[in-house]
Every structure is written in C-alpha cells, then in structure tokens.
Structure 1
Amino acid sequence: MQGPAAHAGTASSSEATEDARAGLRAPADGVPEKPGARGQRLSIVWRNVVLMSLLHLAAAYSLLLIPKAQPLTLLWAYFCFLLTALGVTAGAHRLWSHRSYKAKLPLRIFLATANSMAFQNDIFEWARDHRAHHKYSETDADPHNARRGFFFSHIGWLLVRKHPDVIEKGKKLDVSDLLADPVVRFQRKYYKTSVVLMCFVLPTLVPWYIWGESLWNSYFLASILRYTISLNGTWLVNSAAHMYGNRPYDKHISPRQNPLVALGAIGEGFHNYHHTFPFDYSASEFGLNFNPTTWFIDAMCLLGLATDRKQATKTMIEARKAKTGDGSA
C-alpha cells in the first residue's frame, strides 16, 4: 500500500521524461509563446450554439422546480454532481492527462463510468486536448486559449471550429499511453451509449423508481441542472482561473490561484500551482484544503486501489516561489 502522500516525492527523471513526452512541461523560460493568426475568422458551429443555448435555458427553468422537488431528489442531484466532477478531476485530469498517480482496474472503471456521466468528451479526447493546453498554453494551439477572452475560454471554444494550430500540434502529441489503456479504449468505443445511460437515464430513473419523484423533476434537476452546473464548474478553470487571482509560483504565466473556482471544481482552482507543477497529484500545495479530489485519491490509496502519487517537495515549491513567484501568499 502506498505510504502517506507527503512521502510521495517528486517526479523521477524517468517520470519527468514521461511528462515531457505527454506534453506537460512548460516552456523553459516559463513565458508562453506569442499567439499567431490573431486575425483568423471564426467558423461558428451553429448546432453547438443552439444546443448549448437550449441546455442553459432548460437549466434556468430547472431552478423553478427546486421548491417542488423532494429533498432526496436534491441530495441525489448533488451526489451525481460529485460523481460527475470526480470523473473529470480524479479521472480525465489527474489520472489520464497527467498520470500523477496510478489506479488499478476497478478504480479506472469507476472513473471512466463517472466520466461518461460528465459528458465532456471521452477520456481520450479530453486528455489529448488538456495535454495540448499545457504544452501550448495560451497560444493558438491551446484549445481554450484564454488570451482570446473570457467567453472564448469559458464556452466559446466549443461553439467554433478548432484553430488549425490545435489540430496540427495536437496530432504531434504522444497519446500512446491513453490508447494502451483498455478502459479508455472501451469508453471511447461505447461513449455515446454510456453518456445516454450515465448522464441522463440513470440520474432520472433513480429518484422516480426508488422514492417516487416525478420523471419531470428528476430529469430537469438530476440530469439537466446537474449537468449544466458541472460543465460551468469545469469551464471556470479554463476562464476565471486564467484571469483572476494571484500567482505565487510563477508570475510569468497567466494561470492563477482562485479559491472560488476550487470550491466549484472540487479542488481544481489552484491553477498557478498546477501549471507550475503539473505532475503533482494534489494540484495544490495545500493538501486536503478545498480539495475533495485529493481526499478521494488519498482514500483510494488507503483502500489499495491507487498508488504512486507524485508530489512536489516543500523545498522545490519554496525555491520556485522565490525565483518566479509574485510575492503573494
């Protein structure tokens, strides 16, 4: 069984090589390359515009149903939100994108199932795009380049065709480790079916079948509202956490420390730290504080379902603060 997280240590040289191969290392000088093709005309995907507009209108309507719903239905919706979030944070992000810890087969199956509930593209696409985001952060090869504004980095990037640089440089990333995982391949093969079942059918049927909630309330609260909130929680990491907050670890990059985003994204708002030390399984130097995802990973380690947590040492963190930090706490 893996020892305490504090003893997990830093990434070894071989692990650092793996991180570089996966496109997780920042430029040597810490300064993002200048974006190109700034005048490129956006090609709007109107289908996505319509679908996202309808989804958010339905979520707004869902708020009116909250007083009419049974308390158990609201608790179930929140439970589904937590599962959804873990499928992204502990799964697609910290495990498959950054390989910051190792997970045994039962845990990988659970996280892939929760990830299908999240409905944010399959694990392979999510991890590939996230690796591009780190390697080419805030350039035109970054899928949700924050230099193109809050709206673009939050949701706009999903409403337009990808910049050619995203496609071109994304193809050069080594994603062989993702394709080597049978869980990732299975989820990708049956993604549409798994999304229908996990994101919409299961959340709707449980309250109706077990405690007699109406299908209408169940669908709009446990599926539509929960899904919309979880989407925006993830998107705030791309937008708000790249624009608002301090930069105690590296003032030369845009990602910020944003505790409010950390609350909404169950631990993913300490973004200046994460972009400085992307291999750290906790995505923060504060351990369990504001970080339910870290609680979950630590619990899985205690159960023997996760191992090999990577973590930056205190010495490494303090040295980086002194060298490139903005002097804030």
Structure 2
Amino acid sequence: MSETQTEVRSRHAEWRADADGDAPLAEDVFDDTYREKEGPKPPMQIVWRNVILMSLLHVGAAYGFFVIPSATAMTLAWSLLCFFLSALGVTAGAHRLWSHRSYKASLPLRIFLAIANSMAFQNDIFEWARDHRVHHKYSETDADPHNASRGFFFAHIGWLLVRKHPDVIEKGQKLEFSDLKEDKVVMFQRKYYKPSVLLMCFCMPMMVPWCLWGESLWVGYFVPGLLRYALVLNATWLVNSAAHMWGNRPYDKNINPRENKFVTFSAIGEGFHNYHHTFPYDYATSEFGCKLNLTTCFIDLMCFLGLAKECKTVSREAIVARVQRTGDGSHRSG
C-alpha cells in the first residue's frame, strides 16, 4: 500500500472515532479495512454503446449552442427552469435525501424529486444512491465507481464508458440498501424508469415550448432538450472530477475532495466538497447555509412549507475543532 493510501485510511479511522455531533451513517464512513488487490489491474473493458451514445449527445448539445439565437426568450427561460429542476432531482433528491438521508421528505416532495430525477436521466435513484454510497465508503480506491486517482477524464465521464472494476461491484453488493428498497417512490421510479426518462427528460422539455408559445420542435429538442441535459450531466460530473482535484481543503487536508467555487455554482451548491466528505450527513453540504447553495435554499423552503423536516447539521464547535485539527489553514468563517 502506498504512503498516500495509508494516510487516507488513517485519517478516515480518526474521523470515525470523532464525536462531531450527529453520528454519520454506516454507509458514509470510509472502510479503512479495505485493501486494494496486489498485482496487475483487471483489463479495462470499453462499453462501446455508451461511448457512441455519449458522443452523439455531446454533438447534439454542441449544435444546441448554435440554435440558441433562434430560441425565444421564453424558451431560454424554460431551459433554465428545466436545468434547475433536473439538477434538484440529483442534488436535493438522489444525493442529499436518498444517498445520505440528511433530511426527511414528505410523500409529495419525494414524488416531485423522483420526477425531477427522471428529468436529469443519470440512472434511477436506487442505482445512483448505491454508487454514491460505495463512492463514500471506498473513496479514491479501486472500489470507488469514479475513482479520481485514475485521472480527470475517468472521474468525469470515463467511468461511464467502461465496465466497473470488480471491486466496485463486489463492495456495492455488501452495503445496506433496505431504506431504498422500502421506499415505494424509489422503487416505482426504478420500475418505470425508461418511460419516465423519455417523458421527463426529452418529451416534456421539447413539447412545452411548442404547445404553450409556439416554439419550433427543432429548437425545443436541441435547447431545453439535449443542451440542457448535457449541461446538467457535466455539472454533476464536475463534482466527481474537478471538485476532487482543484481547490482548497479547509476541513481535511488529508483527502482529495476540495472546495471549488465553480463547481458550487454550476452544480447548485455541491462544490463544498471537502466539507461534504468530512461531514457527509450535513443536509446543506456546507457550513454557510444558503450562500452559493441553491439546493440548500430549496430544502429550507420545503421545511418552511412543512414538506421536509429533521435536517441534520454539524455543530459550530465540531466544525471549528475539525478545522484546527486537520484543515489546511485556508478556512474562512464566511
């Protein structure tokens, strides 16, 4: 085992022993007993179907940029709304609610977030949450689905273009997912995922402008459809790639995840990544509340409306103690 891996495992063992307010979920705690297998790595198997589909999507999205001047102001506003809604399906839904259980949501809110998640088209909630729990449990190892130590391209999109490392599959089968299986909204979306994606990710973004204000189907398909979809995908992927490589580490200098303002902006609040990997159970993924964090604003609004409750947070004392013990010295209070 390399010195870097030893340091990371030691750091996570220390974190597990912390008394930092609410106890983290078992699925959130790094498994310091895991050891990567010695010897040559298994051969990389390219999934050519995914390569072709992703290539076509990004070619279509690039064309969508040239179509923007032909779109009406209403269509551009609609595209932004679709971006925000689909992003919420990932950030407030698959990530903070279902992966980390950092707050509780009422049935109407869970249904809304499941619909928004289908609009995002990033695998169904169950699969997304499963992979994300494996990512936290085995971060930056062979068992991490988008292991950033394999480079920017792999962490960003490459992991979706190849077969999963055997350790990802093996470890993913051993984690606890009973909460997801018992959630009828999650399992309903999983059962009808393909038709829900066809309707929410492609048909609705295209048809609403055509039906309500006479936009052409061509513009509707390429701007609020393909271009918006590709932008949401890449904004999410930047959390796995850029936010694991560039930025400061005010809470824990021994791990790769960073605080990255560009990712925070593009992924509506998910770029406070050093904080998130240090305190994964905090519903805000940041100590700064709604600052640059539209997802936290949304969850707070849902709490105000009585649709969400029991948001998990980290005490100020625990944050300060952690900053002083393991931070890189770059922490600012606001």
- The interval holding the TM-score normalised by the smaller chain is over 0.9
User: Equivalent residue for 2:238?
Assistant: 236
User: Equivalent residue for 2:257?
Assistant: 255
User: Equivalent residue for 1:103?
Assistant: 105
Counterpart residue type for residue 41 of structure 2: G
Distance 1:146 1:35, change over 3 A: farther
Distance apart, 1:26 and its partner CA: 2.8
* In 1, Cα distance between equivalents of 2:325 and 2:229: 41
User: Equivalent residue for 2:29?
Assistant: 25
* In 2, Cα distance between equivalents of 1:202 and 1:189: 20
Distance apart, 1:40 and its partner CA: 2.5
Match of 2:158 among 153, 156, 159: 156
CA contact (8 A) 2:205 2:224 kept: yes
Q: Which 5+ residue runs of structure 2 have no aligned equivalent? A: 1-19
User: Equivalent residue for 1:286?
Assistant: 288
User: Equivalent residue for 2:319?
Assistant: 317
Match of 1:265 among 261, 264, 267: 267
* In 2, Cα distance between equivalents of 1:24 and 1:36: 26
* In 1, Cα distance between equivalents of 2:321 and 2:258: 18
CA contact (8 A) 1:36 1:140 kept: no
Secondary structure of the structure 2 residue equivalent to 1:65? helix
Distance apart, 1:154 and its partner CA: 0.1
Q: Which 5+ residue runs of structure 1 have no aligned equivalent? A: 1-9
* In 2, Cα distance between equivalents of 1:82 and 1:170: 30
Match of 2:303 among 298, 301, 304: 301
* In 2, Cα distance between equivalents of 1:252 and 1:38: 27
Secondary structure of the structure 1 residue equivalent to 2:28? coil
CA contact (8 A) 1:11 1:279 kept: no
Which residues of 2 match residues 35-46 of structure 1 at below 5 A? Answer: 39-46=41-48
User: Equivalent residue for 2:63?
Assistant: 61
* Deviations, residues 232-258 of structure 1 (Å, cap 9, x unaligned): 000000000000001010111100000
Which residues of 2 match residues 98-137 of structure 1 at below 5 A? Answer: 98-137=100-139
Which residues of 2 match residues 190-229 of structure 1 at below 5 A? Answer: 190-229=192-231
CA contact (8 A) 2:268 2:293 kept: yes
CA contact (8 A) 1:37 1:140 kept: no
* Aligned residues with identical type, % of pairs: 66
Distance apart, 1:126 and its partner CA: 0.2
Distance apart, 1:12 and its partner CA: 4.0
* In 2, Cα distance between equivalents of 1:37 and 1:215: 54
Runs of 4+ in 1 over 6 A off after TM superposition: none
Distance apart, 1:39 and its partner CA: 3.1
Counterpart residue type for residue 66 of structure 1: I
Distance 1:170 1:89, change over 3 A: same
User: Equivalent residue for 1:187?
Assistant: 189
* Deviations, residues 115-156 of structure 1 (Å, cap 9, x unaligned): 000000000000000000000000010000000000000000
Distance apart, 1:41 and its partner CA: 1.4
CA contact (8 A) 1:36 1:139 kept: no
CA contact (8 A) 1:62 1:224 kept: yes
* Deviations, residues 65-93 of structure 1 (Å, cap 9, x unaligned): 11111110010011000000000000000
Distance apart, 1:37 and its partner CA: 5.9
Distance 1:322 1:43, change over 3 A: same
* In 1, Cα distance between equivalents of 2:291 and 2:113: 22
Counterpart residue type for residue 72 of structure 1: M
Residues matched between the structures, number: 312
